[in-house]
Amino acid sequence: MTPPPKKFKNPRLRPGFQGRSCSIAALGSYLPRRVLTNADLEKMVDTSNEWILTRTGIKERRIAAPEEHTSDLAAKAALLAMQRANLAPDQIDLIILATITPDMPFPSTACMVQKKIGAFRAAAFDIQAACSGFLFALEIGQHFIMAHTVDTVLVVGAEKLSTIVNWKDRNTCVLFGDGAGAAILRNCPGSHGLLTTCLGSDGNKSDLICMPAGGSKCPPSAHSLASGMHYLHMDGRETFKSAVNAMHMAARDALRRCDLDISQIKCVIPHQANRRIIDAVSERLGATPAQVFTNLEKYGNTSAASVAIALDEAVQLGRIHKGDLILLIVFGAGLTWAAAVIEW
Ligand SMILES: CC(C)(COP(=O)(O)OP(=O)(O)OC[C@H]1O[C@@H](n2cnc3c(N)ncnc32)[C@H](O)[C@@H]1OP(=O)(O)O)[C@@H](O)C(=O)NCCC(=O)NCCS
């Protein structure tokens, strides 16, 4: 009897590989309660619901309360993921948190989250890859599991972008929102889990999206405040083109590494920045609308939290089942980008 055709290639399982696989054991997400609609924005800047909807696909976004910090959003997402994984705080070995809106420049927001969830056995640190941060963090966490260094990693993407958006700049303020998503990484016998992640960066285009002031290059000053340099700045048109190219190439590379065709992917979860970017990337990949999951109409671009929130929602809605192959694709400031293939 001929064996059934091989479903996919696991690029990690090369000769001499001594490690173990790493899976997402559970997910959690948290969105602040306050909803800011396009109609609300019409009262704040010279824009219209029609413009925002047709150019971006966004209808509304969530805004955290003044007393709700990035670490609070992150801790709420983390606690839900821990509850779903039936995990006690002292079982977490490592916390990796991705954000561009930390509670403060230091110490890390990951340490704030450690305190809030009581995971006192864990080591904790932040990483920064802007909107690509969750996949960069997932890849780092995966290597700790694969190398048997630790057993349980909490990966979080969390943002309070409402604090760095210029609410008088219609070019940017309509795009972003607050939120957090969390994943528990573990070895789950019987599943290949994270099959591959293709990461990339292009520092030559670091000017396209940035916050010019507040760091060592331009410390906070009366001038930096008066000139709005402490806000997020973006060249929308160039960012759009770079995003489509980089997301498409990263996704193609990830599929190729696993000997996969896009038709074998059950669910594509792209960074939720702009409906037109998602459509252009999907079309280039040959993904059907039924394969592609979006929720940006409700939350806008939540940067490092974006794919984590979308992945959690897709699982909760029954769009992903055990054994399904899924493709995550992200893009952000840096520039940075990544694509990951996961056997669920
Ligand atoms: C920002 C973005 C939606 C703008 O869409 P666009 O089709 O490129 O629009 P343009 O930048 O060409 O601007 C077209 C016009 O709309 C205007 N405009 C910009 N924002 C507007 C708004 N909120 N409401 C109404 N008009 C607006 C511009 O001023 C411009 O007017 P002009 O022609 O008189 O100068 C789009 O470029 C984009 O999504 N880029 C990527 C952003 C992104 O995803 N960033 C995060 C990556 S992680």
The pLDDT tens digits of the residues spanning 112-139 come to 999 999 999 999 999 999 999 999 999 9
CB atoms within 10 A of CB 284: 16
| Cβ of 240 below 6 Å from ligand 1 | yes
| Cβ of 174 below 6 Å from ligand 1 | yes
Taking CA atoms only, the protein residue closest to ligand 1 atom 15 is 171
Residue 2 has pLDDT above 80, yes or no: no
| Cβ of 29 below 6 Å from ligand 1 | no
Higher pLDDT, 244 or 2: 244
pLDDT at res. 68: 98
pLDDT confidence tier of residue 335, bands split at 50, 70 and 90 = very high
Q: How far is the CA of 286 from the centre of ligand 1 (A)?
A: 26
| Cβ of 331 below 6 Å from ligand 1 | yes
Residues tagged active-site: 131, 271, 301
pLDDT at res. 16: 79
Q: How far is the CA of 333 from the centre of ligand 1 (A)?
A: 17
Residue 156 has pLDDT above 90, yes or no: yes
Nearest residue to 103 via CA among 44, 158, 39 = 158
| Cβ of 171 below 6 Å from ligand 1 | yes
Nearest residue to 305 via CA among 337, 336, 273 = 273
Taking CA atoms only, the protein residue closest to ligand 1 atom 38 is 236
Query: pLDDT for 167-186, tens place per residue?
Result: 999 999 999 999 999 999 99
Atom of ligand 1 nearest to the CA of 276: 39
pLDDT at res. 4: 58
Q: Are 69 and 160 in contact (CB under 8 A)?
A: yes
Q: How far is the CA of 175 from the centre of ligand 1 (A)?
A: 10
Q: Which of 41, 55, 247 to mutate to test the pocket of ligand 1 (most atoms within 8 A of CB)?
A: 55
Q: C-alpha distances in angstroms, 298 versus 15, 117, 157, 277, 318?
A: 45, 27, 18, 17, 18
| Cβ of 274 below 6 Å from ligand 1 | yes
Taking CA atoms only, the protein residue closest to ligand 1 atom 30 is 171
Compute the average pLDDT of residues 213-237.
Answer: 95
Query: pLDDT for 187-202, tens place per residue?
Result: 988 888 999 999 999 9
| Cβ of 38 below 6 Å from ligand 1 | no
Atom of ligand 1 nearest to the CA of 237: 37
| Cβ of 332 below 6 Å from ligand 1 | yes
For the ranges 12-16, 127-131, 243-247, the lowest mean pLDDT is seen at: 12-16
What string of DSSP letters covers 187-230? Answer: --TT--EEEEEEEEE-GGGTTSEE--SSSSSS---HHHHHTTTT
| Cβ of 125 below 6 Å from ligand 1 | no
Residue 93 has pLDDT above 60, yes or no: yes
> What sign results for the dihedral spanned by CA atoms 275, 281, 282, 283?
positive
pLDDT at res. 1: 56
Mean pLDDT of the chain: 96
Residue 3 has pLDDT above 60, yes or no: no
Question: Within the chain, how many helices (H) and strands (E) appear?
Answer: 11, 13
Q: How far is the CA of 240 from the centre of ligand 1 (A)?
A: 10
pLDDT confidence tier of residue 269, bands split at 50, 70 and 90 = very high
pLDDT at res. 326: 98
Q: Are 257 and 316 in contact (CB under 8 A)?
A: no
Query: How far apart (Å, rounded) are the C-alpha atoms in residues 210 and 84?
Result: 36
CB atoms within 10 A of CB 194: 26
Query: pLDDT for 73-91, tens place per residue?
Result: 999 999 999 999 999 999 9
pLDDT at res. 212: 96
Residue 206 has pLDDT above 90, yes or no: yes
Taking CA atoms only, the protein residue closest to ligand 1 atom 23 is 170
Residue 6 has pLDDT above 70, yes or no: no
Query: pLDDT for 30-72, tens place per residue?
Result: 999 999 999 999 999 999 999 999 999 999 999 999 999 999 9
pLDDT at res. 175: 98
Residue 5 has pLDDT above 60, yes or no: no
